[in-house]
Structure 1
């Protein structure tokens, strides 16, 4: 199954320098005539004076080379004057660009204001809406400015994901918070569409991940619960909504589990399992959905085992194994097959541990 990310259709996975893309395409085109191609035939026309490209999300001077995301709390190294995110450069004693010793780090408010203006300006682009009459040349085209928060949303999520991977969590939270504001504004205008609602639930979940990474479990639970509350009210049998809802429920369960509240953990795991079972009942049984069901079965079983309910745990583990062993995955879906094998190995290991402990107890 395709990626469940609600921004997958809008965000490009390309993370390569445009120049390298140009070179690689010219080298590897099979059967293409040997002639030089202009950059415009390979890359989309640039629309931003700062070099922003909607296909690669490269930002040039407005990005930090350490986290490769938009600058957040832009700071300048002294004496070399190279610019980075405050959090990113604080981990270095010498400049990653030139190697000069860093005597001190100073905030660059002017550059940060430019970054903030860039983000704000990215919310609107010029668009034309030709009618049938306009297409025939009877009337001039009316050019208006229209909100395009879907593209802006994918842009902000892309920057947040980069920052999160680089452990610049505050930067990620900042971008995701802007994204939440954008989506809420869109929902007020057009209503609770499936796409916008899935996006809001997913971004709230990402904010929960940020809080969790910062060690703020209570805030993480609040974000996940907000995601669950919002998605639960939709009453839409949409597979992406149901997937996002189940993920948030599982994450609350994980936090409760690690906090030692096993009863609450099992409750949330069981709710996620119910959502995923409804998904495979109402929708076609796609491999990724069945794999989700197996994961939820394993989570519920693990909670049962820690609560001392061995018989229930073994029953759930067996059900998960049966689900995984009967799962047919296309050879082209290598990532999904690796995940299936990983989950199967975990479940078999958990089941083996239970059987071993029972046998040991019987022998004693």
Structure 2
């Protein structure tokens, strides 16, 4: 195991992988929808044989205590609602693929797979309860309430599920500090049924998964390309678990932390920041041909307004007295603004914020296509 100041390389062991499972052999009950009472009959995913990850002690692993230093904020806001795992398991139906009546992998099953994997890979660390945010509630009713008006429906006659769901699981005993901000290792994912064709037969299902860090000061997520899969296509539970393990295995904590720490050593003047915001607004309206020659920036005008406003007003990441701002703070202004994104674009924009800030850092040295945003 290699050690560096305040960081560590996780020593990862090979996972015993089974041969690829045939989707047709998976035993899935036939039902138009799965009601909570039937959900309990579904067999749990059998634990996979995995070796724990060894995390160096040079990443701080303090004894677990209830931390009242930080005010908890949602990791995503927009139009989302916070729910708990019991609500998903007990109150929500599970949509199916309509042409063959095969059930989808439910939101709660995705969360359980990631949680169980985290418990096995980090057996000597504290694992937080999942923080779950949902949106786009889909409502229906039971057949016996077909003739009732909406106001007369009883609770047991209503059915719901959520089209979009995002969650994070924090490992608060694995932390590091950047520019005075404490970061905790965090895993999470997104499931959006709007990205599936539920009107067809069952096919590969799509998930987003990441491992990265959460800034405990503002609860912003820090996501890198090594720790994020934009479209994880799986046919069953075991494939999903194996791919989650694979992402964790290939995530390099040391590399990610070093890049983020380097951002605090680069600065923009007030004039450069103003140029950056102005160019970012122009970028949205560039002709397509010109836009293709410039690295992408996926933030909209409303989010750029938030970045500009927080440059002056944010308590943790605003400019200094001279008007300068370091790129670590710029990065967090963008990830803070990203909290207004819908669930299905949230992680993609978070990664874009990281790549964009790294590009601006290179542009300050005069060797990046991102120079367009500063000139």
Q: Smaller-chain TM-score range? A: under 0.3
TM-score, normalised via structure 2 length: 0.23
Q: Which has the larger radius of gyration?
A: 1
TM-score calculated relative to the size of structure 1: 0.23
Task: Name the one with the larger strand percent.
Answer: 2
Structure of higher RCO (CA pairs closer than 8 Å, 6+ residues apart): 2
